[in-house]
Amino acid sequence: MATSATTLSSLSFFSSSLFLSSPSSKLSTSLSFSFKPSSNPSLSISSQLSTLPILSFTGEKIGETYLDLKSAPPETARAVVHRAIITDLQNKRRGTASTLTRGEVRGGGKKPYPQKKTGRARRGSTRTPLRPGGGVIFGPKPRDWSVKINKKEKRLAISTALSSAAENTIVVEDFGDKFEKPKTKGFIEALKRWGLDPKQKSMFLMMEVPETVNKSSRNIGTLRMLTPRTLNLFDILNCDNLVLTPDTVDYLNGRYGEDYEGDTEDDNEEYEEKEEQSGEDENGDAAQ
């Protein structure tokens, strides 16, 4: 992490260019983390208002909406998002990797050959870590990798990442009834009409994903189809484009906006995040 004397230029922790400022901005206002430290920085949480275009299923602009979310100040935004993403990745680890020490490997109780008069190096067991079939020195053992984070901090990290992604965000009218039957080719054509490159990583956030839409998009490897229940910080940071629906915008403004009143005193206590996600990748399934 950069020190306080270093100017932060980007919030992206992966190969995605989501948070990199581009010369061709589609929005009238957006949040960027390229900043110069002010003489009197404010550490209070602020609300960032971004105007998003609303596109029809045919790709025509039919209106505008706004995304008004809480956002951490630039001085702490990178640290808040970094802590949340590290927490998510560590909580995915099973921690079941295990190896045997020389005392746990079966066999090796008999001295393989006499101590002297052989001309060979002395050996007391065939299960020494220096020989094939022996134990492992300082190998991994089952452990708990989970890290706890406050609910308010996790919510602030997600809202900050969404605010930063506003420059690459569009709103599309509800298209759940536009696909009469599953067809991947038709979904790719819709992506092109909305100005999205099928080769770039795109994340769709919908309140409900119809079966025809799910089957039409599941063969596109660069696309993630999420609902509010499966919304996670990793996919937000890892995508190049974010696609919302009008209902999703209302949900985000209510859940992560300035007027959200769901926090109580109990939310200040730390909790262990156990969020289910559809389509877990190998990072969550591999024993590390």
Model confidence over 7-24: pLDDT tens digits?
444 444 444 433 444 444
Note whether 137 and 247 are same-domain residues.
no
Note whether 251 and 204 are same-domain residues.
yes
Confidence category of residue 68, pLDDT binned at 50, 70, 90: confident
Note whether 122 and 134 are same-domain residues.
yes
Note whether 166 and 58 are same-domain residues.
yes
Cα–Cα distance between 50 and 69 in angstroms, integer?
A: 9
Cα–Cα distance between 27 and 113 in angstroms, integer?
A: 79
Note whether 117 and 245 are same-domain residues.
no
- Structural domain range at position 100: 96-144
Tell me whether residue 5 is in a domain: no
Split into its structural domains, the chain has a count of: 2
Confidence category of residue 220, pLDDT binned at 50, 70, 90: very high
Instruction: Mark which of 144, 174, 209 sits at the end of a domain.
Output: 144
Among 39-43, 201-205, 234-238, the minimum mean pLDDT is found in: 39-43
Tell me whether residue 66 is in a domain: yes
